[in-house]
Amino acid sequence: MIKREDIEKREYELLSPQACKAAESKGREFYEAKCEFRTDFQRDRDRIIHSKAFRRLIHKTQVFLAPEGDHYRTRLTHTLEVAQVSRTVARILAYNEDLTEAIALGHDLGHTPFGHVGEAVLNKIHPGGFTHNEQSLRTVDRIEDTSRRRGLNLTYEVRDGILNHRGLGVPVTLEGQIVKICDRIAYVNHDIDDAIRSGVISWEDLPPAEINILGSTHSDRINNLIVDLCNNSEGRDTICLSEEFATALSNLRSFLFVNVYNSNEVRNTSDLSKVELIITSLYNHFMDNPDEIPGIYKEIMETDGVHIAVKDLISGMTDRYALNLYDELFVPKRWRQL
C-alpha cells in the first residue's frame, strides 16, 4: 500500500531539484487535514475533475460555433489535450506531473459560452472588463464548492498556475510555466486540424517556412515542439522554446488569427451579432431582474454585488443553456413551436 508520505518521499528521489514538491506547497487558504493516500496536488486535480464547471466544458465552444459533426474540439477536449501535452513535458523534465495536470485541467474553467467571441462580448459589457483566466480562478475560489465550504480551497501553486496561464503574468512554478506554453502548443495545432477539416483552410494554405520548422503533420508538430521545449528548458530556471521554434509557433498563431479566427466562415457578421445579442440580452435581463438570479449567484449578489453575480452566472453557462434560456425569455412560445 502506497501512502501520501511515500509519494512525497519519492518526489524527492525521482523529480528534478527544480520541481515543485507537494510537501513544500505553500498550502491552502483554509486548513485541511492531509489525505492518507493522496498528495495535496492530487487532491486538487480530483476536485477539479469532479467540479460542475469542468463537466460544463463539454458544451462550450472552442473555435467553431455550433459545428456540424462530432470531431471538432470543445473547451473540454482542448483542456484534455493541454493536460496531455503538459504532463508529457513534465515527465520528460522530471517535474511534478500532478501539479502540472491540476493546473492544466483547471485553466479554462471560467471560459464563457461561445468561446472567445463570448469572452469579448462579456468583456465589453461588464464594468471592469472580463478575462477568462481571472474568472477561472474565481470559479475555483468562490463559485464551486466542496462538502465543507464554498470554493475548492486549492493549493497556492495550482491557483497561481490557473491565474497566470495567459497574459503577462509568469507562474511561480516551472509546472505552471509548462502549462502556459503547452496551452498555446495545443490550441495552435488542434485549431489547424479543425480548420482544415471544416474547409476554412487547406493544408496548402499553411505557411511553408513555419511548417518546415515545426512539421508537416499534427503529430509531428506536437512531438517536435515538445522535444524542442524539453531540450531548451532542461536545467534552466524558466520553461521556453528555442528562438527558432518560438518564432515559428508565434507566426503560425498569427496566421490562424488572420485566416481562421477572423475569417468570414468562423466569425461571420451574423454569428457575431447573434452571440452579442444573446449574451447582452441575458446580462441585461438579470441586471433588471435580480430576483431571478438563481442559487449560489444570489449569495454572490448579496456579498459582491449584482454586476459580479450576473457576470459569474453568464460566464458559467454552456452554449446550449444560454441559447435555451434566451429562447425561453425572449422568444414567444408560439414562435418556438413553429
Phi, psi of 11 (to 5 degrees): -60, -40
Phi, psi of 123, deg, nearest 5: -65, -35
Cell numbers found for residue 64: 467553431
Q: Is the pLDDT of residue 188 over 70?
A: yes
Dihedral-angle region of residue 288 (phi above 0 means left; psi in -120 to 50 means alpha; beta otherwise) = alpha
Is a pLDDT exceeding 50 seen at residue 270?
Answer: no
Judged against a pLDDT cut of 60, whether residue 66 lies above it is answered with no
Q: How far apart are CA 149 and CA 142, in angstroms?
A: 10
Distance CA 203, CA 192 (A): 9
In degrees rounded to 5, what are phi and psi of residue 277?
-65, -45
Answer left, alpha or beta for residue 151, where phi above 0 means left and psi between -120 and 50 means alpha: left
Residue 69 to residues 65, 116, 259: CA-CA distances in angstroms? Answer: 12, 21, 21
Average pLDDT for 148-165: 94
To the nearest 10°, report the CA torsion of 163, 301, 79, 182: -10
Cβ atoms of 244 and 213 within 8 Å: the answer is yes
The Cα 200–Cα 294 span in angstroms is 40
DSSP state of 74: B
The one-letter amino acid at 324: N
Work out the pLDDT band at 150, boundaries 50, 70, 90: confident
Position 335 scores a pLDDT of 60
Residues 6 or more apart from 133 whose CB is under 8 A from it?
107, 110, 162, 163, 164, 165, 166, 167
Residue 158 has pLDDT above 90, yes or no: yes
Mean pLDDT (whole number) for 60-64: 72
pLDDT above 50 (res 160): yes
- To the nearest whole number, what is the mean pLDDT of the chain? 92
Q: What is the C-alpha to C-alpha distance for residues 117 and 319, in angstroms, rounded to an integer? A: 12
- Report the distance separating Cα 203 and Cα 218, nearest Å: 11
Distance CA 234, CA 293 (A): 50
| Tens digit of each residue's pLDDT (9 = 90 or more) over 68-124 | 555 567 899 999 999 999 999 999 999 999 999 999 999 999 999 998 889 999 999
Residue 67 above 60 pLDDT?
A: no
Cell of 40: 495535496
pLDDT: which is higher, 260 or 269: 260
Coil, helix or strand at residue 151: strand
Phi, psi values for residue 332, rounded to 5°: -55, 140
266 versus 113: the higher-pLDDT residue is 113
Position with higher pLDDT, 61 vs 24 = 24
- What is the rounded CA–CA span in Å between residue 317 and residue 279? 10
The cell numbers describing 10, all together, are: 519519492
| Share above pLDDT 70 across residues of the chain, in percent, rounded to a whole number | 93
Which pLDDT tens digit goes with each residue over 21-44? 999 999 999 999 999 999 999 999
Residue 61 three-state SS: strand
Distance CA 267, CA 252 (A): 19
Confidence of residue 198 (pLDDT cuts 50, 70, 90): confident
Q: What's the pLDDT at 337? A: 55
Under 8 Å between Cβ of 309 and 298: yes
The model's pTM: 0.94
pLDDT band at 274 (very low <50, low <70, confident <90, very high): confident
